Amino acid sequence: MTPRIKIIRKVSDPPVVKGFNPYGLELGNQKLEPINLFYEEYEAIRLSDYDMLNHYQASVMMGVSRPTFTRIYASALQKIAKAFVEGRQISIEGGKVYFDSDWYHCKKCGCYFNNPEKENSVINCPLCGNQQIDKFDYENNKTDTINKACYDMCICPECGFEQEHQFGQPCSTQICQKCNSFMKRKGSKNCRNFKNQ
């Protein structure tokens, strides 16, 4: 029996953050594996609990059936509950999605913004006014001008060990073979900081 073909889910807006970290004295130095919340799971929470749409309305927005939306939503709630109860980090990335408008990245202030008015071209960053902007490529999680090789590697922010990125597996769930720390995507803010030290 062949697996069911997954319909690509529409996400109106990407999350404004890449995840959440728990804090508190009780956590100590324990390193628990992060919970990976897919983009479509984030979108299901946003539509249902933030925009207050019912499951049918939200399923139409995402371009999936109502039962499929309900499964995505239930999976998101279960992951968030697990992260809260076990004190785990939440990482928002991955999934089979497409975004309904072009997004851009500002080189100066680092913000991401979209252009819903497709008839008007983007000339500068709406936040800082800088004209050095790049079109953001979600499929490869990079901007057009960044070296692709940097984004095909995972790096350990503790010891600098690098390994090839495994497609579909977030780097934040990979453990360094040398020091047993969680890896980061090479080219992310944390890894740039490590590289510059």
d(CA 106, CA 176): 31
Summarize pLDDT for 35-93 with one digit per residue, the tens.
999 999 999 999 999 999 999 999 998 989 999 999 999 999 999 999 999 889 999 98
Same domain, 93 and 184: no
**pLDDT score at 147:** 36
Range of the domain at 69: 1-99
- HSE toward the beta carbon, residue 54, CA cutoff 13 A: 1
Quote the pTM value. 0.52
Write down which residue in 145, 162, 179 finishes a domain. 145
CB 115 within 8 A of CB 102: yes
Task: Write out the E strands in the chain.
Answer: 9-11, 19-20, 35-37, 90-92, 97-99, 103-106, 112-114, 133-137, 142-143, 153-155, 162-164, 184-185
Beta bridge mates, 99? 11
Q: Report residue 98 as tokens.
A: 């497409």
d(CA 188, CA 63): 31
Same domain, 19 and 65: yes
Write down which residue in 113, 128, 145 finishes a domain. 145
Same domain, 138 and 176: no
